[in-house]
Structures are given as structure tokens and as C-alpha cells.
């Protein structure tokens, strides 16, 4: 892994981009399906990607695509944009899209900051950052996705009244995120009671990664509203 992301000249917030060999069926989908549902290069408005879309959502770091595909199946009227740097995760997500016949998913393999920089202002209704790489060592905290710059980019992309959901099973990352989000003039924390961050939201879909319980605490769910 290189120290810097050459696309941005800033530190990566993710590690490897490919691991085990990709299965033949998924490799075929990377050749055939992926180009047809790719998020376009350059500036774009999500509403131009699906005629009649009632809302546009963004999932940053969708892993194997289980949550993204499940939400898309529940809400076919919503266009869901997914961004994931890990090629094996993208291949897995394409399989879900294909098997479930989803017409409301668009995918970008790469850094979410690329999409946030290109998306039209105030064009997203919701954003999800679920169990991102926690970079638990202190010397690696600068690689965490949640930084002031990312918060500002999300604020630019979300509509007033839009929502951002962040989840982690690392206690320190939950505190890190809450501290930085509370400093932002663009967001407010929507929790009213402890169960609001201790229990999964009603529309949350649990993924295989979440059930592995790789962190140091029970999952924490932080929901923020765009002011």
C-alpha cells in the first residue's frame, strides 16, 4: 500500500484494493454489468442517472454490497450510489445487483472523495458510512475517513434535511466522529436517548462484516441531520 493516494495527493482512508482471485462469474460481471451502472466521470447530478428517482442516497465503503443491495431492493424508487475501493467488494456487489435484478444502483470503484467532489451540490437525501476502516493505531488516525474535509464535502452534497448515518464497532472511532460532527455548523446529532445510538435504526440491514464483531465494542449508530 502506498502512503498517498495519487489521485488526490492526500492520505488514503483505505488499505488494499484487491485480495483473492475474483470468481469467473463475478469477473464477467465486472466486464459486462459494471460499465452499464458506473457512476460517470466528471460533474454529475444523481437525478440524471435514473428517470423519476424520488431520492438519491450514497453509501461510502459498501464492502460486499449487502446493505446497499438490500436497501435498493426495499426502495426501488430511490437511486443508490455506492462507492468502494476494494475490487473484490465491487465484484460481490455486482453479483447482488445481478441476482436481485436491481435497476436503481450505480457503482464507483475508488475513493469516495472523487464522487463527493463531482456530485451536484445539495443533491443527496441520505448518506451511509457503515463500519469504515477504523485505523485504530494513533499514528494512523490521520487516515480515517471522518475528517473535517470529508464532513464539509458531505455537507455540500446533502440537501437541507438530509441525513448521514455513521456506524462503527470501535469505541474510539465513535468518539472521534461525534466530536468532529458536533463541531460542524452544518450538522446536528439526531439522538434523543441512549437507545438511539445503542440500537440499530429500524431500517438498518445487518451485514456479514458486522456480525464478525471485529471491533472493541458493540456497534454504535450515529445519525446526523443536515441543517
pTM for this one? 0.92
Q: Quick count: other Cβ atoms within 10 Å of Cβ 213?
A: 11
133 among known catalytic residues:
yes
Instruction: Answer yes or no: is 59 a known binding residue.
Output: yes
Instruction: Answer yes or no: is 84 a known binding residue.
Output: yes
Instruction: Answer yes or no: is 208 a known binding residue.
Output: yes
Instruction: Answer yes or no: is 209 a known binding residue.
Output: yes
Model confidence at 38: pLDDT above 70: yes
Element holding 94 (H helix, E strand): helix 87-100
Spell out the CATH class of 4-226. Answer: alpha beta
Query: Tens digit of pLDDT for each residue in 78-104?
Result: 999 999 999 999 999 999 999 999 999
Instruction: Answer yes or no: is 111 a known binding residue.
Output: yes
Distances (CA, A) of 123 to 19, 81, 91, 165, 218: 34, 12, 27, 17, 33
Catalytic residue among 5, 41, 45, 133: 133
User: b or e along 144-180 (b: 16 or more beta carbons within 10 Å of the residue's beta carbon)?
Assistant: bbbbeebbebbbbbbeeebbbbbbbbbebbbebbbeb
Model confidence at 14: pLDDT above 80: no
Q: Which of 114, 115, 180 is nearest to 141 (CA)?
A: 180
Q: Quick count: other Cβ atoms within 10 Å of Cβ 209?
A: 16
Please report which confidence band the pLDDT of residue 56 belongs to, taking 50, 70 and 90 as the band edges: very high
Instruction: Answer yes or no: is 114 a known binding residue.
Output: no
For 179, phi then psi, to 5°, come to -60, -45
Q: What is the per-residue pLDDT for 4?
A: 44
Amino acid at each position: 500500500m502506498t502512503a498517498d493516494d495519487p489521485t488526490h495527493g492526500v492520505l488514503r482512508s483505505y488499505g488494499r484494493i484487491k485480495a483473492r482471485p475474483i470468481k469467473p462469474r463475478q469477473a464477467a460481471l465486472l466486464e459486462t454489468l459494471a460499465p452499464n451502472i458506473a457512476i460517470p466521470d466528471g460533474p454529475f447530478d444523481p437525478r440524471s442517472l435514473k428517470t423519476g428517482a424520488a431520492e438519491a442516497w450514497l453509501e461510502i465503503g459498501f464492502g460486499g454490497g449487502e446493505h446497499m443491495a438490500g436497501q435498493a431492493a426495499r426502495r426501488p424508487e430511490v437511486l443508490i450510489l455506492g462507492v468502494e475501493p476494494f475490487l473484490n467488494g465491487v465484484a460481490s456487489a455486482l453479483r447482488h445487483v445481478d441476482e436481485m435484478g436491481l435497476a436503481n444502483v450505480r457503482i464507483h470503484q475508488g475513493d469516495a472523495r472523487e464522487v463527493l467532489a463531482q456530485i451536484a451540490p445539495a443533491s443527496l437525501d441520505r448518506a451511509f458510512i457503515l463500519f469504515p476502516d477504523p485505523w485504530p493505531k494513533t499514528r494512523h488516525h490521520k487516515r480515517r475517513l471522518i475528517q473535517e474535509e470529508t464532513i464539509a464535502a458531505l455537507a455540500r452534497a446533502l440537501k437541507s434535511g438530509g441525513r448521514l448515518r455513521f456506524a462503527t464497532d470501535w469505541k474510539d472511532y465513535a468518539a472521534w466522529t461525534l466530536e468532529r460532527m458536533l463541531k460542524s455548523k452544518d450538522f446536528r446529532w439526531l439522538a434523543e436517548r441512549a437507545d438511539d445510538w445503542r440500537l440499530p435504526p429500524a431500517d438498518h440491514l445487518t451485514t456479514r462484516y458486522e456480525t464478525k464483531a471485529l471491533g472493541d465494542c458493540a456497534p454504535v449508530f450515529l445519525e446526523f441531520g443536515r441543517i
